[in-house]
Amino acid sequence: MNYTALAKSIFRGDRKAAARLISIVEDEEEGYEDAMKLVFSGTKGAGVLGVTGPPGVGKSTLVFELAKRYRKNGKSVGIVAVDPTSPLTGGAILGDRIRMTDLAGDQGVFIRSMGTRGGTGGLSLQASNTIRILDAMGCEEIIVETVGAGQTQVDIMGLADTVVVVTMPGTGDEVQSIKAGLLEIADIYVVNKMDLPGAMSTAADLKSMLNLVDDWKGWKPPVLLASANSGRGIDELTGSIGGHRSRMLDPVVSMERRSKQARKEIFDIITGQIMHSIASNIQADELDAIVREVVEKKTNPYDAARKISIAASRTGKPPKAL
């Protein structure tokens, strides 16, 4: 595979080349890291918006509305939908949904959905590579949607410049349904489906929860109301996203966020490399035998881990990706 040619096509805005490289990265095909090194050098600095929240609250509907606004302003848009609970890839489901919207057939919109495929690199690393490929292809605004799955969801949202946490009025305690990790990463809250009863009180609950925190370091997350399927509240949301983005232009704030992202990515890569080298240097039955020794108390987990580390570095060569 000639990755230089592929990367060059991506830099020229070739959608097929971008889709191809995303698949190569997902499959962790031989040498994909070299392709990503090239892509890294060609990114242009797209704005990345994260949209997350519990299942069915209207995230995708909101994402499509936001994408329409970006298109109206002449921006090209990338949409990445990540579902850590699903093994689906290739944009099948999301693609079917988009065909029913005004964005269907728009060459200025690139959509990709991804799920867990059992690679060693982890889903947030794959999402980060996908974002980078779309950026290098020329998407100016990238929106990442994730549906709830604990730490992975939080990690993926960590890739965004601005994170919107969406909820809706309902029967249970909506504030509780937003997991603790999300409260830490939210820059903006949206109570969607404001056409349903209880929206005002859900918003009030969120606001009173936020009032318990006194140090917001310059940005207190606003709580907005919206009705994504009728387009209500979207202007306020885009305004708020713009406000947060201007705040991100502060060099200190931006440096802090980007350093955190880069550190996380580097450690994800290291973890992936270690897992890869374990997988390529130890037979499954050898690993099973070590695990059994721990279960049978013939050894302890620490000595077992050491045995595996030694076996993993058996070749004396660094793992493939280095």
Ligand X SMILES: Nc1nc2c(ncn2[C@@H]2O[C@H](COP(=O)(O)OP(=O)(O)OP(=O)(O)O)[C@@H](O)[C@H]2O)c(=O)[nH]1
- In terms of CB distance, is 60 or 277 closer to Mg ion? 60
Instruction: Tell the smallest beta-carbon distance from residue 18 to Mg ion (Å).
Output: 22
How far is Cα 25 from Cα 28, in angstroms, rounded to an integer?
Answer: 5
Contacts of 97 (CB under 8 A, 6+ apart): 60
Which of the stretches 188-196, 243-251, 260-268, 295-303 binds ligand X when contact is defined by CB under 6 A?
A: 188-196
| 152 binds ligand X, rule: CB under 6 A | no
Alpha helices in the chain (DSSP H): 3-11, 15-26, 32-41, 59-72, 92-98, 123-137, 150-157, 174-177, 180-185, 199-210, 234-248, 251-281, 284-295, 301-312
- Residue number of the CB atom closest to Mg ion: 60
How far is Cα 188 from Cα 241, in angstroms, rounded to an integer?
Answer: 8
Contact pattern from residue 41 through residue 60 relative to Mg ion, giving x for each residue in contact according to CB under 5 A and a dash for the rest: ------------------xx
Contact pattern from residue 195 through residue 214 relative to ligand X, giving x for each residue in contact according to CB under 6 A and a dash for the rest: xx------------------
- In terms of CB distance, is 57 or 312 closer to ligand X? 57
Find the length of the chain: 322
**Partner that binds at residue 55, options Mg ion, ligand X, none, CB closer than 5 to 8 Å by kind:** ligand X
Start-to-end CA span in the chain (Å): 19
**Partner that binds at residue 238, options ligand X, Mg ion, none, CB closer than 5 to 8 Å by kind:** none
| 227 binds ligand X, rule: CB under 6 A | yes
Which of the stretches 11-19, 38-46, 59-67, 260-268 binds ligand X when contact is defined by CB under 6 A?
A: 59-67
Contacts of 242 (CB under 8 A, 6+ apart): none
What are 302's two structure tokens?
Answer: 């620490």
| 52 binds ligand X, rule: CB under 6 A | no
> Which of 152, 192, 273, 277 contacts ligand X by CB under 6 A?
192
Instruction: Tell the smallest beta-carbon distance from residue 105 to ligand X (Å).
Output: 20
Radius of gyration, CA atoms only, the chain: 21
| 116 binds ligand X, rule: CB under 6 A | no
Q: At what angle are helices 234-248 and 251-281 packed, to 10 degrees?
A: 90
96 CB neighbour count, 10 Å cutoff: 9
Instruction: Tell the smallest beta-carbon distance from residue 204 to ligand X (Å).
Output: 18
| Amino acid at site 53 | G
- In terms of CB distance, is 96 or 285 closer to ligand X? 96
In the range 264-303, which residues lie near Mg ion by CB under 5 A? none
- In terms of CB distance, is 60 or 116 closer to ligand X? 60
77 CB neighbour count, 10 Å cutoff: 26
Residues lying near Mg ion in the complex (CB under 5 A): 59-60
Residues lying near ligand X in the complex (CB under 6 A): 55-61, 147, 192-193, 195-196, 227-229
